[in-house]
Chain A
Amino acid sequence: MSDALLEVKDLKTYFFVEDKIIKSVDGVNFTIKNGETVAIVGESGSGKSITSLSIMGLVPKPNGKIVEGSIKFSGDELVGLPEKKMNKIRGNDIAMIFQEPMTSLNPVFTIGNQITEALLHHQNLKKSEAKKRAVELLKLVGFARAEQIIHEYPHQLSGGMRQRVMIAMAMSCDPKLLIADEPTTALDVTIQAQILELMRDVKKKFNSSILLITHDLGVVAEMADRVLVMYGGQVVEETSVDEIFEKPKHPYTSGLLASIPKIEEERKRLEQIPGTVPSADNFPRGCRFAPRCSKVMPRCTDAPPDLLKVEPDHKVRCYLYELS
């Protein structure tokens, strides 16, 4: 386990709103190794973003709180770390890019100002050096006229360009871990492909690990080494990317796979998983997927199943694979 970069154990992040407890992340475990790309997939509302924000220490205040669990980064505990120390890690060792490139950059500061900000903060560079570095980074993410771009404002760039800027900004301090929360969801299909390619590129150059969050299994297939499937604030399946596409075990994963459009099977009606994600303040008593599961059994609604290792590199949370 010495090559584990990030170890998340029993993470529980809840929101306390009025008299409700919203269990957005409810006992999540996973590990990211050095150089690995791990994807978290799941429908909207399954707790992916809150998991990533928990790692960043940016759970929305004042309602949200990590109530339990541990997040170890390079062996150091992040949960409960004072803000000052966390600020030395954020943007420096762990960087993050977000879903909405259109609104994720500050409209009143130049691109150059926003890229150099982390450099100046973390790396003690002089202004001129930081500026030089910003230009290099922008070239690296594909801006031919980087020298001009640093003087421009976000509104002068397209969504795809802004996401490139976000990537340049995130990579500025050479982070060990890049968290990308749905980095291509808001973009056109052709731009999506370009951004994914850029991320692969950047990952190779910087030799960093990536935690990629997406609801798109197509993106997973292109990018990830390993996959976590999340549902109702929990991991329901975890395995390698090959396994997940060839031998999915959890009925939810099979449902997700059945709903990706395939080019070969022209215009066949997509199978959708019936029903919706349960709301995080009121989960079913047993298996959280039971109300939507086509394979539901009597015991499924009694008590929740555990995430169990069913093969050397395959964990699943489902009674179908648990011997009673």
Chain B
Amino acid sequence: MYTYILRRLFLFIPVLFGVTVFVFLVMNIIPGDIASIILGTEATPELKEQLRQEFGLNLPLYQQYWNWISGVFVGDFGNSLRTGAPILPEMLNRFSLTFELTIFAAIISWMIAIPMGILAAVKRNTKGDIGIRFVSLLGVSIPNFALATLLILILSLFFNYYPPVGYVGFLEDPRRNLEILLIPAIVLGTSMAGSLMRMTRSSILEILGQDFIRTAQAKGISQKMVLFKHALRNAIIPVLTIIGMQIGYLLGGTIIVEQIFSLPGLGQMVLTGINQRDFPVVQGTILFIATIFVTVNLIVDILYSYLDPRISYD
């Protein structure tokens, strides 16, 4: 197992290297540069040239890349070209929000999707099942921004809710923090719940048709035990794949929901970085997000081997 984990960690290197090279190239291909964005209307060719020189944007590409990556190796992600602020602390700061929001949203989605999925499977083809499936289809097909706007509208009309201005960290004021994140988490959680519920339902249905379920029933244990012990333990394995993917995505920041609720999360940082062609910001955040993504994947794979004794990585 440990050698497996080490091997996987080792494989991170080429993957992450590939990601950074790709992003670096894309950032250089897309038109527009930070100098003209910073200078705006005052841009003269001379001033622009001066800034480019200062940022090292005139160096050959490999040189630029090397300067950046060699910093990353020693934990220096550089400074934002736009604000001059160091990138790493801001990234970690924003990640703490994104992380909290993700966990919050994930818990909401599990609380909805897993019981509903089980219920729909057990009551398959009844009105209840059809109703649950319809709602989950809605959940899958309504885009986040629409759900968010709709929710804000309804809540502001009837409950005097307004999207919060300014973000407060959990450690500063836990209550206020949870209040701020509740609605965004509901938006993200319900939109995740749709596909998760469908997966749970189909996975349970498949397991309920297996021979070992009949064996369990033949022992005379209760229907509940058959469902919650024998079926669920097996059915959760494919569900975990979806959960892992969803968490991986969310941890990378949720650009739209962060925008709508003006939350200073990771997604917002990437977006601003791209808009302003602030390449160290984009490079840094995307490397960070990619690292999180592959790590979540690794964690899911490790969990697999705990849940399913047939999977062994030795």
A residues adjacent to B (C-beta < 8 A): 56, 58, 62, 83, 86-92, 95-96, 98, 100, 103-109, 117-118, 121-122, 153, 155, 166, 169
Contacts and interface: CB of A to CB of B under 8 A. Distances in A.
A148 to B, nearest CB: 15
B217 A58 contact: yes
- A-B residue pairs, 4 tightest by C-beta: A90-B220, A91-B220, A91-B219, A103-B211
Interface in B124-160: 125
Given A98-B211, A104-B211, A155 B220 contact: no
B309 A153 contact: yes
Contact of B220 (A87, A104, A107): A87
A118 B307 contact: no
Given A95-B218, A118-B219, 14 more contacts: A56-B218, A58-B214, A62-B125, A86-B220, A90-B218, A90-B219, A96-B218, A103-B211, A104-B212, A104-B214, A105-B215, A107-B309, A108-B307, A122-B220
Contacts of A83: 223
Contacts of B202: none
Contact of B217 (A89, A90, A100, A107): A90
B122 to A, nearest CB: 11
Interface in B206-239: 210-212, 214-223, 230, 233-234
B215 A98 contact: yes
B308 interface: yes
B219 A121 contact: yes
A156 to B, nearest CB: 8
Nearest to A62: B125
B216, B223, B234 pick with most chain A CB within 10 angstroms: B216
Nearest to A118: B219
B212 to A, nearest CB: 4
Given A106-B230, A153-B310, A121 B220 contact: yes
Contacts of B215: 98, 104-106, 166, 169
Contacts of A104: 211-212, 214-215
A155 B221 contact: no
B57 to A, nearest CB: 56
14 contacts: A58-B217, A90-B218, A91-B221, A104-B215, A105-B212, A106-B212, A107-B212, A107-B234, A107-B309, A107-B310, A108-B309, A117-B219, A121-B220, A153-B310
A169 B125 CA distance: 34
B228 to A, nearest CB: 13
Contacts of A96: 218
A96 B214 CA distance: 10
What range describes how many residues of B lie at the interface? 20 to 34
B221 A87 contact: yes
A43 to B, nearest CB: 21
Contacts of B125: 62
Given A87-B221, A107-B309, A117-B219, A98 B214 contact: yes
Contacts of A100: 211
A266 B305 CA distance: 52
B124 to A, nearest CB: 8
B210 to A, nearest CB: 6
Contact of A92 (B214, B220, B230): B220
Interface string B226-258: 000010011000000000000000000000000
Contacts of B220: 86-92, 118, 121-122
B216 to A, nearest CB: 7
Nearest to B213: A106
Contacts of A90: 217-220
A62 B208 CA distance: 13
A95 B214 CA distance: 12
Nearest to A156: B309
A96 B233 CA distance: 23
B62 to A, nearest CB: 51
Contacts of A107: 212, 234, 308-310
Contacts of B233: 106, 108-109
B144 to A, nearest CB: 35
A106 B216 contact: yes
Contacts of A122: 220
Contacts of B217: 58, 90
B214, B215, B221, B234 pick with most chain A CB within 10 angstroms: B215
Nearest to A101: B211
B220, B222, B233, B234 pick with most chain A CB within 10 angstroms: B220
Contacts of A62: 125
A155 to B, nearest CB: 5
B240 to A, nearest CB: 13
A195 B141 CA distance: 54
Given A98-B211, A153-B310, A155-B310, A106 B234 contact: yes
A56 B220 CA distance: 10
A34 to B, nearest CB: 21
A56 B210 CA distance: 17
B270 to A, nearest CB: 40
A61 to B, nearest CB: 10
Contacts of A118: 219-221
B219 to A, nearest CB: 4
Interface in B273-314: 307-310
Nearest to B124: A62
A121 B216 CA distance: 12
B125 to A, nearest CB: 8
A89 B27 CA distance: 71
B307 A87 contact: no
Contact of A121 (B214, B221, B230, B309): B221
